[in-house]
Amino acid sequence: MKLNFTKFLLAFFFVVFFTLKVALSASINNKLFEVKNINVEIESTTSTRAREIALLKAQEKGFKNLMNKMLLTSEYEKIKTISIEKMLEFVDAIEIQNEKTSSNKYIGNLTIIFNEDKILKYLNQNNIKFTSLKSKPLLILPIYKFAGVTYLWEKQNIWRNAWIVNSNSDGLIPIKSSDGKFTDFIFFNQDKAVKKNLKNLKLLAESHNTTGVLIAILKKKYNRDKSKILFNLNLSIYRFDGQETINYEDTIDIYSNEYSDNILNEAKLKVEEFVNQQWKSANVITAQKEFEKITVSFNNLDDWINIKKTIKNISIIDKFNVKRFTHNKATIFLSFSGNLNQLKVAFKQSDLEFNLNNKNLTLSN
């Protein structure tokens, strides 16, 4: 037994020791602070001048996009007057994905990488509430109702088609659409009562590796004289990570002669805004850093390495330090933003189970 454990420790140190510095670093690389697909198109007196202006514009757009992801609408007002000079202080790097220039024009697609520590320090110092906690995706079931007919998996469902063509993977809580596999139809169809089929909804979410299901019903109808079209939007979010069910209703109305497919994009935008706002509201991070000792339980070395990598990539965790290690347990000290409940939610989004009573962390079953 001693020999086996010695071999295990040797394997552990060879695999882990040289990467431990990364785990102990004060700032952990976080993809949230890489803002991609920023498109700019600028004309000026020369191509060089156009490029200079475009790069400034891209950094400004990148900063505003990042703040829009992290801040509640009420908090976003607080950063609207920030100067471009201050925004530039937050930028670590600019990556150019592609660019074209002419004698007086610049067109580019860029990625702006922001300094996480500087951004968080600024938000905390200015008492701006934010969250950097990213959720696993939600699976959307877009149900379309018109003229007494209900569509879900059918090709005639124009509401579902809008999500398939333009699926949203951006933001803190990505929204994922289904391709309409046969098993999806088995788990749920539009004629089933949702409350009686929550078990099937959970199975459907698990089959798509999502944290829950968003049922988005869009009902089209005309007013009495048919001069206007009314689109009633009814949303229900069923999460299976311990958070409550959330409902939302809204209406879009337009004149009948102004109808176009853009109305579906407007409805889609309303859904995305609601989903992200409710997530941010529920997961506002406190400015104060917390420290906690937790126990990590695992079955083998591969499990431990996977857990360690996962912890390193959780946005609200600043750093962690391994204090004790055995063949199936490790004691680590965490420094993180927020509270223990938010830490539990963060672990859950990464398929880790955290017991608040005994402070034990394991891989989800």
The pTM (predicted TM-score) of the whole model is 0.75
Per-position DSSP letters for 78-117, written without gaps between them: GGTT--HHHHHHTEEEEEEEEEEE-SSEEEEEEEEEE-HH
Looking at domain 2-29+285-363, its CATH class is alpha beta
Enter the DSSP assignment of 302: H
Rounded mean pLDDT, 174-180: 85
What kind and span of H or E run contains 306? helix 301-312
39-53, 125-139, 196-210, 239-253, range with greatest mean pLDDT: 39-53
How confident is the model at residue 24, as a pLDDT? 29
Per-position DSSP letters for 233-288, written without gaps between them: EEEEEEESSSPPPEEEEEEEEEEGGG--THHHHHHHHHHHHHHHHHHHHHTPBPSS
What kind and span of H or E run contains 332? strand 329-337
User: Is the pLDDT higher at 182 or at 148?
Assistant: 148
Q: What is the 3-state secondary structure (H, E, C) of 174-239?
A: CEEECCCCHHHHHHCCCCCCHHHHHHHHHHHHHHCCCCEEEEEEEEEEECCCCCEEEEEEEEEEEE
pLDDT at 22 over 60: no
pLDDT at 17 over 60: no
Q: Could you tell me the two tokens for 29?
A: 């690389």
How confident is the model at residue 27, as a pLDDT? 34
21-35, 104-118, 179-193, range with greatest mean pLDDT: 104-118
Could you tell me where in the chain the CATH 3.10.129.140 domains are found?
A: 32-125
pLDDT at 20 over 70: no
- Cβ-Cβ contacts under 8 Å for 52 (sequence gap 6 or more): none
Could you tell me where in the chain the CATH 3.40.50 domains are found?
A: 138-282
Judged by phi (left if over 0) then psi (alpha if -120 to 50, else beta), residue 242 lies in: left
Least confident of 68-77, 197-206, 219-228, 268-277: 197-206
pLDDT at 21 over 50: no
- Cα–Cα distance for residue pair 176/239, rounded to 1 Å: 14
For the sheet containing 105-114, what is the strand order?
A: 34-43, 105-114, 91-101
Q: Could you tell me the two tokens for 21?
A: 């510095």
Residue 275 φ then ψ, to 5°: -60, -45
32-125: CATH topology: Thiol Ester Dehydrase; Chain A (3.10.129)
pLDDT at 327 over 70: yes
Could you tell me where in the chain the CATH 3.30.70 domains are found?
A: 2-29+285-363
What b/e string do you get for 166-203 counting C-beta neighbours within 10 Å, with b at 16 or more?
eebeebbbbbbbbeeeeebeebbebeeeeeeeeebbbe
138-282: CATH topology: Rossmann fold (3.40.50)
DSSP-assigned beta bridge partners for residue 179: none
- Cα–Cα distance for residue pair 35/66, rounded to 1 Å: 7
Rounded mean pLDDT, 302-325: 89
Rounded mean pLDDT, 24-41: 70
Q: Could you tell me the two tokens for 230?
A: 């009314």
How confident is the model at residue 330, as a pLDDT? 93
pLDDT at 319 over 80: yes
Q: Could you tell me the two tokens for 145?
A: 């109702």
Q: Secondary structure of the chain: what % helix, strand, coil (to 5)? A: 40, 30, 25
- How much is the mean pLDDT over the chain? 85
User: Is the pLDDT higher at 244 or at 193?
Assistant: 244
Instruction: Name the pLDDT band for 192 (thresholds 50, 70, 90).
Output: low
Rounded mean pLDDT, 162-178: 81
Q: How far apart are the first and last CA of the chain?
A: 28
The tens digit of pLDDT for each residue in 126-164 reads: 889 899 888 889 999 999 999 989 988 888 899 999 998
